[in-house]
Amino acid sequence: MKKHLIVIGIIFIFLIVGLNGCIEDNNKSNNQISIIYFKAEPNIITKGETVNLSWSITGASNVQINNNIGNVGLSGNYIISPSINTSYLLTALNDDTNKTASINVIVIKEEKEPVINNPPGELVISGPSFGYQNKAYMFKTKAYDTDTNDSIRYNFEWDDGNEHTSSYIQTGITYEISHDWTTYGIYEIVVFAEDESNARSETKTHIIYIDVHPIDDEIEGYLLDENSDGTYDRFYNYKTGNETNVQKQMDGTYLIDSDGDANWNYIYNFWTDKLIEVWILKIPFTNDVNKIKFEVAYDIYNF
């Protein structure tokens, strides 16, 4: 009987040991970490957009995500909005082991369409076309900035070495400025408008003749009044580039020596803006220009 009891006791002990060994093995299998997934949706974004991080873990006692996210549950999601390319590392651990998984989020710099700033348009300039030395003349200009209604400033180049730039004024408002020239000549005034973003308009030009009267006929050039006394003193020939003599007549017309040979070649009438040729006969035995006689053949009503 005692032997039977001893045998039964030994068998019971073995059963207890065997059973304890199965539970330990099961615990070890339960301690295995499995990262089922770790995702970023979407993983490519434009700066300013958001990303949903999501994950699912088994067998871990602690789960962490870097970049200031910290401890998280075995499953979940987290919204992020990185401003630069960023790597996220998930670490799952327990007393026995740990596992990691990582994902990258790519951030694309936003490509904004450039703002187009068109220059001022519809620029106009007005003012006199003829004038005298040392007398100021008024000129007006105006332009519009249709895009942003920026204020506009105007730049004048007077063709005598001087320039003028206005202060900024409201678009579409007429700007007035005066200028005088100290020497006779033909001056090309150049003006342009510029907005607050430095966008410049096209240029406009305006011609003013200061003590100069143009002739565009059989000869091309201009009469010039050197001392601004109202009487023209010389003729400038565009073709030759030379200045030659002129003489005002009692009737207000001018005799012109166009080629500089000391003979009068043309008579010019201001009122009709017409030029007629002169046939010249010199008095024999003299070179004195003042003793030159001439005959003119023309229809008085056409001159």
pTM here is 0.57
User: Which residue did the predictor score with more confidence, 197 or 134?
Assistant: 134
247: left (phi over 0), alpha (psi -120 to 50) or beta: beta
Span 41-57, pLDDT tens digits: 999 999 889 999 999 99
> Please, which residues have CB within 8 angstroms of residue 198's CB and are 6 or more apart in sequence?
none
Preceding peptide of 42 cis, ω within 30°: yes
Q: What is the percent of the chain where pLDDT is above 90?
A: 66
Please report the domains of the chain, with CATH numbers, ordered by start residue.
34-108 (2.60.40.10), 121-210 (2.60.40.10), 212-302 (no CATH)
The neighbour count for residue 279, using CB atoms within 10 Å, is 10
Q: What is the mean pLDDT of residues 61-88?
A: 93
Is pLDDT of 9 > 60? no
Span 143-165, pLDDT tens digits: 998 777 779 999 999 999 999 99
Span 268-297, pLDDT tens digits: 998 888 999 887 544 444 455 444 444 444
Tell me what pLDDT residue 280 has.
54
Position 264, amino acid: W
CB contact at 8 A, 101 and 112 = no
Is pLDDT of 13 > 50? no
User: Which residue did the predictor score with more confidence, 29 or 117?
Assistant: 117
Cα(199)–Cα(118) distance, integer angstroms: 7
Tell me what pLDDT residue 174 has.
96
Tell me what pLDDT residue 114 has.
75
Cα(116)–Cα(118) distance, integer angstroms: 6
Span 88-145, pLDDT tens digits: 999 999 988 899 999 999 998 877 777 788 899 999 999 999 999 999 999 999 999 8
Residue 254 confidence class, pLDDT cut points 50, 70, 90: very high
Is pLDDT of 79 > 70? yes
Q: Which of 111, 44, 49, 99 is nearest to 74 (CA)?
A: 99
N residues, the chain: 303
The neighbour count for residue 17, using CB atoms within 10 Å, is 9
Mean pLDDT of the chain: 83
